[in-house]
Amino acid sequence: MMHPVAEYAISALLLIGGAFTLVGAIGLARLPDFFSRLHGPTKATTLGVGAIMLSSVIYFSASGEGIGVSEILVTVFLFITAPVSANILAKAAMHIDVPPAEGTRGKPWEQ
C-alpha cells in the first residue's frame, strides 16, 4: 500500500508531464516554419518527460523496489541527447536552405 501523498504526487506529475508533451505536439502542428517547430518537440517535452520520469522515480521508491536510479539516468541521457539532435536537425535544415517563416528577423549564415 502506497502512501497517499506519494500517490497524489505521482498523479500530479503524470498530468503535468502529459500536458507539456501535448503542448509540444500542438506546437509541432501549429508553429509556422521548420525552425520554430524544432522548439515544440525538443523543449516542451523536456519538462514533460522530466515530470513523467520523476513520477516513475517516486513510484518505485515508494513501493519499496529501491530508488529508481535508472530512471534518473534515462532523464540525464535525454537531456544530453535532445540538444544534439535539435542541433543536427537545425544544421541540416540550414544546409538544404529551408526557408524561415516570413517575419523572421535575421537569417542563417553562409560559411
- x-or-dash string of contact with another protein, 54-73, rule CB under 8 A: ---------------xx--x
Residue 1, Cβ density class (10 Å: 0-12 exposed, 13-18 middle, ≥19 buried): exposed
Using the rule CB under 8 A, is 26 a contact of another protein?
A: yes
Q: Which DSSP category does 108 fall into? A: -
Q: Which of 42, 44, 51 is nearest to 17 (CA)?
A: 51
Using the rule CB under 8 A, is 107 a contact of another protein?
A: yes
Question: Residue 81 is placed in which grid cell?
Answer: 541527447
Using the rule CB under 8 A, is 108 a contact of another protein?
A: yes
Using the rule CB under 8 A, is 101 a contact of another protein?
A: yes
Using the rule CB under 8 A, is 91 a contact of another protein?
A: yes
